[in-house]
Structure 1
Amino acid sequence: MGGAKAALMFLPSAVAGSMCLWQLQRMRWKEGVVQEAQEAMQSPPEDVFTMDELPRFRRCTAAGTYDHSRAVFVGPRPISFTLSRAELQDSGMREMLSTPGAIKSGYLLIEPLTHDKSKRTVLVNRGWVPPDWKKHWREGVSAQQPQGRVEVTGVAQGSEEPSSFVPRNEPDRGNYFWVDVPGIVSF
């Protein structure tokens, strides 16, 4: 019986030690990713339409025309913003020590941008938009977006990796919960 008790006493220490090692490995990996991103961001932007492959975190420029008819809204996604003291009082929320601001729900707007000459297309994440945009996109919000040739600068990114809690995308219903580049392109 003494050996079993000793093993049970040792088990929590072994689990805690392995978790500590895992956290250290994860920290080193994350530091490497951050360093890679910082180095890539120091480079001048390159024309995305002249690149054969998009390295991650690479600053890129793209010039072309948005296809507003193929816009995709990914979300819902939260955005936090800071309220002034007056706005906080007007909102009816109580000020707390940890109140960093407020959170709104919306979507990421993803649109194809097609190069005028080569006809190559890239997806551009145009950023967070309010939920009304998705609801009223076809009725007129899209008409208020940039028309004709535009030039954008951004950072190359691929698909997101959804957690097990994120539902599957439903392209046929227009519901995208995570950025799936091949899935968005094929639809």
Structure 2
Amino acid sequence: MPVPARSTVAEVPASHRPRGGRGKPILAGIAFFVALAILLSLGTWQVQRLHWKDRLLAEMAERRAAPPASLADIEALAARGEDIEYRPVTVSGVFANNRERHFFATWRGQTGYYVYTPLQLADGRFLFVNRGFVPFEAKEPEMRKQGQLTGEQSVTGLARARLAEKPSSIVPDNDVAKNIFYWKDLDVMASSTGIPADKLVPFFVDAGDALNPKGLPIGAVTQFDLPNNHLQYAVTWYGLAAALVGVALYALFRRKGDRPTA
């Protein structure tokens, strides 16, 4: 019988076979630790944000409960670089109703404007007061004549800091010609009404509801419901990190189980 021809290709011992396959587990391990570090850092960042937001809300509540300060006290705080946001204040002066500015706003599901009216103080300076909300159809002063207060007025409200710049690129530019503001540019609000910079108090006041309790503008429109979803975000990032670890362990044990047991 003919003898079968032997193969001329010599078998390579397992110990001499290429080991390029080891690179894949190393790369996978590096990717795992990088992804895990990112997820854990995002979760930790959200926890830090949660603590910051809790402190901020507590400070806001504490300030709102404090007795009203004088305008001079608030100005002294601002001059020292301290935070004046939501600090109660009482001021007196005469409203310059012919210089009011209109800020586009949504209040309790209704769209309209906040009316910012300069209050002329005894020293001749002007303080912009957010008198409250009016619907679209009441934008013009002649539609709410009862709310055009004259004579000396005492205003109790909350101090609000000015904005250094437009808060976001998605916020529209202010339409000064139509007297519609989309962000509170105090300098432009003043200059567009002829108020010089040296006669301007460098912050706002949100008025309470005592000025015109039954008419327009509707006062006490300051919103305090700041979103605080950082705990939910932290749980999400940490949960993804735990899921990643679970997938990695499953893949590792499955790889060990697939190895031959010669």
Q: Deviations over 1:50-103 (max 9, x none)?
A: 65334222110111111111111111x2222xxxxxxxxxxxxxxxxxxxxxx2
> Displacement, 1:38?
2.5
Letter paired with 2:154: E
Letter paired with 1:157: R
The aligned residue for residue 110 of structure 2 is 104
C-alpha separation between the residues in 1 aligned to 2:55 and 2:185? 25
The aligned residue for residue 59 of structure 1 is 88
> Displacement, 1:46?
1.8
C-alpha separation between the residues in 2 aligned to 1:168 and 1:7? 46
Cα separation, partners in 2 of 1:182 and 1:25, compared to 1, 3 Å? farther
The aligned residue for residue 121 of structure 1 is 126
> Displacement, 1:124?
0.6
Whether the 8 Å contact between 1:78 and 1:106 is mirrored in structure 2 is: yes
The aligned residue for residue 143 of structure 1 is 145
C-alpha separation between the residues in 2 aligned to 1:173 and 1:106? 14
C-alpha separation between the residues in 2 aligned to 1:164 and 1:18? 28
- Which protein is richer in strand relative to its size? 1
Q: Which of 180, 186, 189 matches 1:181?
A: 186
The aligned residue for residue 102 of structure 2 is 73
Whether the 8 Å contact between 1:158 and 1:181 is mirrored in structure 2 is: no
C-alpha separation between the residues in 2 aligned to 1:22 and 1:51? 33
Pair 1:154 & 2:182 matched: no
Cα separation, partners in 2 of 1:146 and 1:167, compared to 1, 3 Å? same
Whether the 8 Å contact between 2:114 and 2:131 is mirrored in structure 1 is: yes
C-alpha separation between the residues in 1 aligned to 2:110 and 2:85? 29
Q: Secondary structure at the match of 2:31?
A: helix
Whether the 8 Å contact between 1:68 and 1:111 is mirrored in structure 2 is: yes
Q: Secondary structure at the match of 1:32?
A: helix
> Displacement, 1:150?
1.3
Q: Which of 8, 14, 29 matches 2:52?
A: 29
> Displacement, 1:21?
1.4
Structure 2 unmatched runs, 5+: 1-23, 79-83, 193-262
Q: TM-score, normalised by structure 2?
A: 0.55
C-alpha separation between the residues in 2 aligned to 1:164 and 1:112? 28
Question: How large is the RMSD of aligned CA atoms in angstroms?
Answer: 2.1
Whether the 8 Å contact between 2:68 and 2:88 is mirrored in structure 1 is: yes
Between the aligned residues of both structures, percent identity stands at 28
Letter paired with 1:9: F
Letter paired with 1:141: M
Whether the 8 Å contact between 2:74 and 2:89 is mirrored in structure 1 is: no
Which entry has the higher C-alpha Rg, 1 or 2? 2
Paired residues in the alignment total 160
Q: Secondary structure at the match of 2:161?
A: coil
Q: Secondary structure at the match of 1:171?
A: coil
The aligned residue for residue 165 of structure 1 is 170
Cα separation, partners in 2 of 1:31 and 1:133, compared to 1, 3 Å? same
C-alpha separation between the residues in 2 aligned to 1:28 and 1:50? 29
Q: TM-score, normalised by structure 1?
A: 0.75
Whether the 8 Å contact between 2:118 and 2:127 is mirrored in structure 1 is: yes
> Displacement, 1:106?
1.0
Letter paired with 2:42: M
